Amino acid sequence: MSRLLLNCDIGESYGAWTMGLDAEVMPFIDCANIACGFHAGDPSVMRKTVALALANDVKIGAHPAYPDLVGFGRRSMACTAAEIEDLLHYQIGALDGICRAQGGRVQYVKPHGALYNDMMAKPEQLRAVIQAIARYDGQLPLMLLAMRDNSAAQALADEFGVTLWFEAFADRAYDSAGRLVSRQLPGAVHHDAETIIAQALTLARGEPLRASDGSDLLLNADTLCVHGDNASSVAAVQRIRQALGELPNG
């Protein structure tokens, strides 16, 4: 990729419950990670979100999760490798069917919440996710966390012929290995807009961040995760989009 793509978790409303400002943030992003019904979303929300993404020429990604509506997919579950494959195929297939009905297709996969964290921490989980994607459609990239050393994940992906899109976060602090600092620790989440924009630009320029232990941390990222939860976060995304557009490769 020649520039840093902006991706956003989206389509997380459910029934009469609304979450996120999807219509407001969609014009400023490149990739929409659409919930597939297991942690958020439902068939109608999925259909409407797909239509919104297509209207804005935004790439559609499946955002599969553990079956955990109550916990918003943020709780780990003891799933076998076969069960993880089944969960991914079920959710990717559902969203892909809704896309096909509107003339689109799922274009990548980004696991959500605890499933995302588990696959980054456990090689056997990552293998199951990559194998599931390869068996569904080997042309679909997998979005996962950019770290100081991505070689192990890259080797697994190469084994199955799956492309990886490495993801960074403008609003999160990192430890020295490139893992996100736990939300339970102070300073884990950046709330100041100027700090968030500055970190986005640092990542886009390929410059090192300052890790939580004070060391330099270089992350080779293809995509930057942003949020559209409220009006202020949408405004921050708009400013990030404008700032990235002013870079030489923007």
Residue 248 pLDDT level (bands cut at 50, 70, 90) = confident
Separation between Cα atoms, residue 218 and residue 211, nearest integer Å: 9
Strand, helix or coil for residue 17: strand
Structure token digits, residue 24:
């407001």
User: What number is the average pLDDT over the span 44-65?
Assistant: 98
- Helix (H) and strand (E) counts in the chain: 8, 9
User: What number is the average pLDDT over the span 213-219?
Assistant: 96
Of the listed ranges 29-38, 135-144, 207-216, 241-250, the one predicted with least confidence: 241-250
Structure token digits, residue 218:
């270089």
What Cα–Cα distance (Å) separates residue 223 from each residue in 29, 31, 48, 131, 144? 10, 9, 24, 22, 10
What is the per-residue pLDDT across 148-204, written as a single tens digit (0 to 9) for each? 999 999 999 999 999 999 999 999 999 999 999 988 898 899 888 899 999 999 999
Residue 250 pLDDT level (bands cut at 50, 70, 90) = low
Q: In the 8-state DSSP scheme, what is residue 146?
A: -
Structure token digits, residue 98:
């809704």
- For helices 81-101 and 123-137, what crossing angle results, to 10°? 40
Instruction: Give the closest residue to 101 by CA, choosing from 54, 42, 139, 134.
Output: 54
In the predicted structure, residue 66 carries a pLDDT above the cut 60: yes
Amino acid at 94: A
> What average pLDDT does the chain have?
94
Separation between Cα atoms, residue 50 and residue 32, nearest integer Å: 9
- Ranges of each domain in the chain: 5-245
- pLDDT of 43 reads 98
CATH, domain 5-245, list 3.20.20.370, 3.40.50.410, 3.10.20.30, 3.40.640.10: 3.20.20.370
Residues of the chain above pLDDT 90, percent:
85
Separation between Cα atoms, residue 178 and residue 176, nearest integer Å: 5
- pLDDT of 19 reads 93
In the predicted structure, residue 1 carries a pLDDT above the cut 50: no
What is the per-residue pLDDT across 3-44, written as a single tens digit (0 to 9) for each? 899 999 999 999 999 999 999 999 999 999 999 999 999 999
**Terminal alpha carbon distance of the chain:** 11
- pLDDT of 182 reads 87
